[in-house]
Amino acid sequence: MPIIVNLDVMMAKRKMSLNELSEKVDLTLSNLSILKTGKAKAIRFSTLEAVCKALNCQPGDILEFQEEEETEL
């Protein structure tokens, strides 16, 4: 997937645990873990807003677009 989730990087920069972030944004640990590992297929703007507020960052600090390389057959 060309969208890279850098949530773990921002959490490390802010020295915030998954448990702490989960409490601040009112998301379950499992849902936050899915987002953190890049397995989520979508994110609500309200969730992204809550995460950005809790981590004092911008959406671009968490989400990154990376062009997929085309492979030749």
Please report, for the chain, the start and end positions of each structural domain, with discontinuous segments joined by +: 3-65
At the second CATH level, the architecture of 3-65 is Orthogonal Bundle (1.10)
H-helix or E-strand spanning residue 47:
helix 45-55
User: pLDDT (tens digit, 9 = 90+) per residue, 33-50?
Assistant: 999 999 999 999 999 999
Span 7-36, average pLDDT: 96
Global confidence as pTM: 0.85
Angstrom distances, CA of residue 71 to CA of 10, 62, 64, 67: 32, 27, 21, 12
